[in-house]
Structure 1
Amino acid sequence: MKPGWEESLHFSPERQGVCDGMQAVILAGGIGRRVFPLCRGRPKAMYRLLGKPLLHYVISSMKGVDEAVVVIGKNGERIREYFGNGEKYNVHLEYVQQKEPLGMANALLCAEKLLKEEFLLVNADDVVEQDAFANIIEHHKKSDADLILCYKEVEETEKFGILDLEDGRVKRIVEKPEKGKEPSNKAVISPYLLPRSILEYIRKVPLSDAQFEDSIQKFIEENLVEAVEYRGFFASFKYPWDLLTINKYLMKKHVKGQTIKSSSVSERAIITGNVVIEEGVKVLETAKLSGPCYIGRNSLIGDDALIRDFSSIDEHCEIGKNCEVKNSIIGRNCRIHGSYIGDSIIEENCDFGFGSVTANFRFDEAAIRVKIGNKKIDSGLRKLGVIMGSHSKVGINANIMPGVKVGPRAVVGPGVTLYEDLGEGERIYVDKKSFVRKTGPPDEPF
C-alpha cells in the first residue's frame, strides 16, 4: 500500500493544535428533502465518498476542536453506531436527539444542556478545509467580538446569506438577496463561533424556517459581531449534484499516486494517473483505469471497461465488460453491464442492463435543470447524468436523459427513453409492439 492513503483519511495530531478544549456542535439532524432521491433511510451526513461517510471529512476538518455534540434526527442511530464516542478520531463525541426537523435554531436548543459558554456551530453537510476552523479560532483569541462569523467571497450571492460589513464589524446579514441588490459578495458559511447567550435570542424569535438567521440578526443589532475571511474550498451538500463537486475535491486531496492493495489486477489492464484500488478488487484483462478514480473493496472491473475522470465506485460493485464510467459516484453493491454512466450519482444496490445509457449533455449545451420539489433548479452544470435512488433497476437498451431523477426501488424498463423523473417505487415500460411473422420464400412480399 502506498504510504499516506489511509493516513490522509484519518485525523492527524495537528488537528488538535490550535485551541485545546474548543467545543463544536455538529448539526446532523436534517432530513434532506432537496437531495431526493438520495439518502432515503439514512442521514445526508452518512452518504459515502471514497468509502467513508461525508461526516468523516467534516470532523477531520475541525482543527482546534477536541469535543463535539452531534445533533441527530431521524435514522441518526446510524451516525452514533459509526462514530461511537469519537475515540478513534481523537475527538470526544456526545449525541442529542432532535425529535422533529425544526431547523438549526431548534437543534441548538436540543443541545442546550451540553453547551459550553462558547462553541463552534458546524453543519454536517458543509465541507471546508482546516483553515476555516483555524482562522476563526485565532481571530477569537485576539478579538473582543461576542460572535464571529466565517465568510467566503462568492459569485452566486443569491444563494447565500450575504454580509454587510463596516470597518470589520457585521451590520447585518441579507438572506439570498436579488441579483444587483446584494451588500457585498461575502457569503456566510460554516463554522460559526457562537456564545451560549445566543439561546436567549433564539427563544425570542418565533419558530420558522429562518429562525436561526433571524436570531443572529437580533444578536448583531445588540452586540459586537465580526467576520473572518476564508479562502479555501467550500461546498455544501444541498442538492444531489453537489456530491460531484465534493467528490472531486476529496479525490484531489486524498487520491495521490497509485495505491493498489491486496487485489487481483491483470497484467494486461492499464492503470494511469492517481488511482486507489482497495482490497479484494479484481481488474480483468484490458480494463482501463484513468485516474483520478477510486475502486472500493471486493469490486470487479470487467474486460475492456473504462473507469475515468473522478469516478468513485464503492465496495462490492460489478462494472461489467465494455462499460464506461466517467465522473460518477456509484454506491455499494451496484451491477452495471455494458453501459455508459456519465456525470451521474447512483445509490447502492442498483442494476443496469446491457446497453443502457445515461445521457449527460444537451444539444444546445445549456446548463442542465433539475426538478426539486415543484421547481426546476439550474444545476450550473453543462454535464449531468442520472440521479438514482437505491435498489432501482434499468433494463437493457434503456436511455435516461440528462438531469433526470429515478426514485428508490423504481424500474426503467427495457428500451425506454426516460425524459421525466420517476418517483419512488414507480415503473415505466414500453408498450408491446406487434410483429408480423410469415413463412415462405425470402423474396415473397408481405
Structure 2
Amino acid sequence: MQTVILAGGTGKRVFPLAVNKPKPMFKILGKPLIQHVIETVKEAGLKDFIIVIGHNGEQIKDYLADGSQLGVSIEYTVQKEALGMANALETTKDLVKDNFFVVNADDIFESSLIKGMTKQFKKSGAEIILSCKPVEETWKFGIIQIENDKVTKFVEKPPKGQEPSNMAVVGVYVLTKKIFDYYKKIPVSDHQYEDAIQRFIEDKNMVRAVSYDGFFAGYKYPWDLFSINEYLMDTHVKKQTIEGGVDVSERAQVEGNVWIQRGTRILEGACIRGPCYIGSNSLIGNNSLVRDYSSVGNNCVVGFSTEIKHSLIGDNCWFHTNYIGDSVISDNCLFGAGTITANFRFDEKNVKLRIEGKEVDSGTDKLGAIVGDNCKTGINACLSPGTRIGPHSIVGPGVNLQGDLEPGKIIFIDRKSYVVTENRITISSEKK
C-alpha cells in the first residue's frame, strides 16, 4: 500500500522555525522530522511514498531524493497554495492506486499504529480506516461516533455539549480513491477533508476506526518539539553511545543515556547529564553543562561555563558563558558572553505567546526563547520567556528583549549621550 505524506504547509504557527525551511525539516537526533516519519512507516512494512511539498519544498526533495538511501521509493507532487488537506491530497490523485495511507510529515507516532490499521483494513473490508483515541477537550479535535464497530459520524471541532463522543481522530488515515469524487461535492474550506468523509459515511460506505493508545504528537507550535524530542530520545538513546573519534577528557563527566557523534570533543570540567544527544564535530567546553533532554547539533561550540537545559540546538551554533533553558535555537546562531534565556515567569504562570493575532497558552510554565536561523546576540542580552526571534536578526548588548523580533531586524539600546566627569576618587594599589 502507498503512503501519502503531507508536507506542504507554511508553518506560520511555528514562527520563526519555518521561515527559511519547511516545518518537517526541523532536525531532532540529527534527522529531519519527515525522515523519522518515513522510517516509522517503513518499520511497519510500507515502502512506497508520495510526498506533497509546498513552501520551500525543494529542500525536502533535495534531502530525500528518490528515497533509495533510506530503502524506500519516493515520488513528489506540489501543492501550489496552502488550501488545506483536501487540496493537498487532490495533487496525488493520478499517482495513488486503490487504497492508501495518509500521514502528516511532522507527526510522530509508533509503527504499531500503521500495523494495527493495516490489519483492520485487511480484516474488515472497509474502504476508509480512521485511527482514534479518547480525549477530554473534544472541541479541539475531529470527533467520531462509533456504533457496532462502524464509524457513523465525523465532526470537526464540535461545539461544547454537542460532541458525538470523546473519541478524537488521530492524524493517520487509510483512504480510498473514491474520496476524490467527494471532494468535488464539498465547498473548499478548512473542513473540506472532514466534510467529505462525513458525506462518504452518509452514503452508506463502510468506515471503521482503530483505537490507538500509543505515543502521538503533532508539531503545531514550537513547544511541541519538546515532547517529540523526549519521545525520540527515550526510544533511540537507551544507553550511553560514544562514536569513534570522540575525545572525552578524563576530567569530564558523561552520565546516563547519552549519544555523542563522531569527532566531538568534551573538555575538562564539562558535564553531560543524559538523556542527551551531541552531534558530530562539536565541542563541549570547560565547565559547561548539557542536561535533561538537550540536543546539540553538528559543528557547535558550547563554550566555557555555558549551561544548556532541556533545549534543542541546531547546527553551527556558538555559545560562551550562556544559560539556555527550555529553548529552541536554530542553525548558525551565535550568543555573546552573558546572554541568557529566561524561562520562568515571576508569577509562575504558564508562558503565553501571541500567534496569528491570538494569545496562545503554551501549557507550560517553563519556556525560554525560540530563535530562527542566522541570529546573533551581544554580551549580556536577556531573552524573556516566550521570546521569538526571526531569522537573520541581531539582539544588541544589554538588551532585555520581550515578545517577538521580526526577521532581518537589529535591536540596540538607544544611548544618545553619556556623562563624563573628573575622577575625584583616589585609586590606591595598596591592599587594606
Same fold (TM over 0.5): yes
The residue number in structure 1 matching 2:202 is: 221
Alpha-carbon distance in 2 for matches of 1:200, 1:354: 60
Using the TM superposition, name which of 214-223 and 189-198 deviates more. Answer: 214-223
2:184 aligned counterpart, secondary structure: helix
The residue number in structure 2 matching 1:74 is: 55
1:389 equivalent in alignment to 2:372: yes
Aligned partner letter, 1:409:
H
Q: What's the C-alpha RMSD, in Å, of the aligned pairs?
A: 1.5
Aligned partner letter, 1:83:
L
Match among 351, 354, 372 for residue 355 of structure 2: 372
Using the TM superposition, name which of 141-150 and 152-161 deviates more. Answer: 152-161
Are 2:121 and 2:127, in contact at CA under 8 Å, matched by a contact in 1?
Answer: no
The residue number in structure 2 matching 1:141 is: 122
Aligned partner letter, 2:20:
G
Alpha-carbon distance in 1 for matches of 2:217, 2:70: 23
1:49 equivalent in alignment to 2:32: no
1:434 equivalent in alignment to 2:418: yes
Q: Using the TM superposition, give the Cα deviation of residue 441 of structure 1 relative to its aligned residue in structure 2, in angstroms.
A: 4.5
Deviations 1:327-350 (A, max 9, x none): 000011111110000000011111
The residue number in structure 2 matching 1:255 is: 237
Length, aligned pairs only: 422
Alpha-carbon distance in 2 for matches of 1:338, 1:279: 25
Alpha-carbon distance in 2 for matches of 1:83, 1:153: 35
Alpha-carbon distance in 2 for matches of 1:152, 1:300: 43
The residue number in structure 1 matching 2:323 is: 340
Match among 11, 15, 37 for residue 36 of structure 1: 15
Q: What does 1:37-436 correspond to in 2, within 5 Å?
A: 37-62=16-41, 63-222=44-203, 223-261=205-243, 262-432=245-415, 434-436=418-420
Alpha-carbon distance in 1 for matches of 2:368, 2:351: 9
Q: Using the TM superposition, give the Cα deviation of residue 174 of structure 1 relative to its aligned residue in structure 2, in angstroms.
A: 2.5
| Closer, same or farther: CA 274–180 of 1 in aligned 2, 3 Å | farther
| Closer, same or farther: CA 293–180 of 1 in aligned 2, 3 Å | farther
1:187 aligned counterpart, secondary structure: strand
2:100 aligned counterpart, secondary structure: strand
Aligned partner letter, 2:201:
I
Task: Report percent identity of matched pairs.
Answer: 51
Q: Using the TM superposition, give the Cα deviation of residue 166 of structure 1 relative to its aligned residue in structure 2, in angstroms.
A: 2.2
Alpha-carbon distance in 2 for matches of 1:382, 1:171: 40
Are 2:386 and 2:403, in contact at CA under 8 Å, matched by a contact in 1?
Answer: no
Alpha-carbon distance in 2 for matches of 1:281, 1:155: 45
Are 2:153 and 2:164, in contact at CA under 8 Å, matched by a contact in 1?
Answer: no
| Closer, same or farther: CA 156–395 of 1 in aligned 2, 3 Å | farther
Alpha-carbon distance in 2 for matches of 1:88, 1:398: 43
Alpha-carbon distance in 2 for matches of 1:99, 1:216: 24
Q: Using the TM superposition, give the Cα deviation of residue 180 of structure 1 relative to its aligned residue in structure 2, in angstroms.
A: 4.7
2:113 aligned counterpart, secondary structure: helix
1:114 aligned counterpart, secondary structure: coil
Q: Using the TM superposition, give the Cα deviation of residue 190 of structure 1 relative to its aligned residue in structure 2, in angstroms.
A: 2.3
Q: Using the TM superposition, give the Cα deviation of residue 127 of structure 1 relative to its aligned residue in structure 2, in angstroms.
A: 0.7
Are 2:99 and 2:127, in contact at CA under 8 Å, matched by a contact in 1?
Answer: no
Please list every run of 5 or more consecutive structure 2 residues that lacks an aligned counterpart in the other structure: 428-432
Aligned partner letter, 2:390:
G
TM-score by length of 1: 0.92
Alpha-carbon distance in 2 for matches of 1:155, 1:399: 38
1:112 aligned counterpart, secondary structure: coil
Q: Using the TM superposition, give the Cα deviation of residue 211 of structure 1 relative to its aligned residue in structure 2, in angstroms.
A: 1.5
Q: Using the TM superposition, give the Cα deviation of residue 179 of structure 1 relative to its aligned residue in structure 2, in angstroms.
A: 4.5
Alpha-carbon distance in 1 for matches of 2:137, 2:79: 31
